[in-house]
Amino acid sequence: MDKKITYLLTISLILIILTLSACNMPNQTAPTTQPDTGMINTIAAQTIQAQLTQVVATSQATQPQPTTAPPQPTDTLPPTAAPTNTNPPPTREPSQPTNSPQPSATITTVPCNRASFVKDVTIEDNTKMTPGETFKKTWRLKNTGSCTWTSGYDLVFDHGDSMGSPAAVQLTSGTVKPGQEVDVSVDLTAPDDPGTYQGFYKLRSTDDIIFGMGDKDKAFWVKIVVPGETGLLFDFIARASDADWGSGTGGVNFDGPGDISLTFGGPDSNHNGFAMIRDGIKLENGSTSGKLLETHPKWENDGYIVGLFPKYTVGAGDYIKGRIGFIANSDGSCGVGNAYFAIDYIIGDDVSTHTRLNHWNETCDGTLTQITINLNSLKGKKVRFYLVVKANGSSSQDWAIWRSLGVFRD
């Protein structure tokens, strides 16, 4: 309470005391009536109360008021240091979707040079090949990179068994855009020795970048098996029914084959000639045969018969071996057979490649002729063999036979 308030209270108390004293003092002139002392006290008290209220109100109006209430003491523990992370705590479990913005998707850059394997167009894995056989391996690849493959791109041998592979082969003569496919090939030769062989390849760009399949640049491959086969590999006697037969006179028509088509198996009375299997017959050398092939030319002067056999792939070390001659007369004596024997070939079905391997002029002289032809020059090639018999003049008793004839490998 300030001094002004104290002063007013003091004055008020003095006035009260004086008033009370005056009431008790003897009055020289007696009033006609006596005032009510109780009422006087009440009025004095109300006056003092009103003055005090006004003083207090005035004092409060002149004092500066605080803008906020002062902090009140509590029973809580002293506050700890404020956390450094001011972000509000999550209101949901992390696994629950929220309405907050999601981060943008990561952009993956597609490399310039990348490929994927589609399929083997030729030569599936573990294809069997004869020794020295030539073949074309073709893969189908897809451009999965971002750059276009051009004529400057190459197929390159990476490692493994080369099988005569060139170091590089042009991938395409045009363009292969991203997402497109292309067939790429390489010419190979099966090794001479038996075994399993596998060669691995990749691609090379115009700036000499070597790349392969997928993001790990894996190589793609060719895989073959060369079996260790020996003995009789192609039996002319057993395959004779699969050959195409024909006959004629004069020069041999190899395109037909023959001018007249013949049905294998005879009969042996067909004057156009015949081809058939014989068994257990007497030969000019006096022996009795097992199964053999008889090929009688057309029954005319200079008549011929020709047979074209199915394809055979020549392997390393292959050779043809057999015997040729005539069937004897019914009494076992030698007839008057006189004919020209020959073995020819073509590559695949291309008659323009027709080549003679060897020929023999035979007469019925009581012996069979042993024949042997080395096929090393044809190693790896798919060939079709011809058997030819042509009458030297008259075809009478030209009961020509091929005995134990086949392609062998030691």
For residue 387, give the amino acid letter.
Answer: L
pLDDT for 108 equals: 72
CA pair distance 98, 94, nearest whole angstrom: 9
Superfamily of domain 115-228 in CATH is Immunoglobulins (2.60.40.10)
Please state the domain extents for the chain.
115-228, 232-409
CA pair distance 350, 356, nearest whole angstrom: 14
Phi, psi of 219 (to 5 degrees): -80, 155
pLDDT for 14 equals: 60
The correct answer on CATH 2.60.120.200 for the domain covering 232-409 is yes
Task: With residue 311 as reference, give the H or E element that holds it.
Answer: strand 303-313
Question: 3-class SS at 120?
Answer: strand
**18: confidence class by pLDDT, cuts 50, 70, 90:** low
Contact 138, 185 (CB under 8 A): yes
pLDDT tens, residue by residue, 71-84: 444 444 444 444 44
CA pair distance 35, 39, nearest whole angstrom: 8
pLDDT tens, residue by residue, 131-166: 888 899 999 999 999 999 999 999 999 999 999 999
Three-state SS annotation for 25-51: CCCCCCCCCCCCHHHHHHHHHHHHHHH
pLDDT for 100 equals: 52
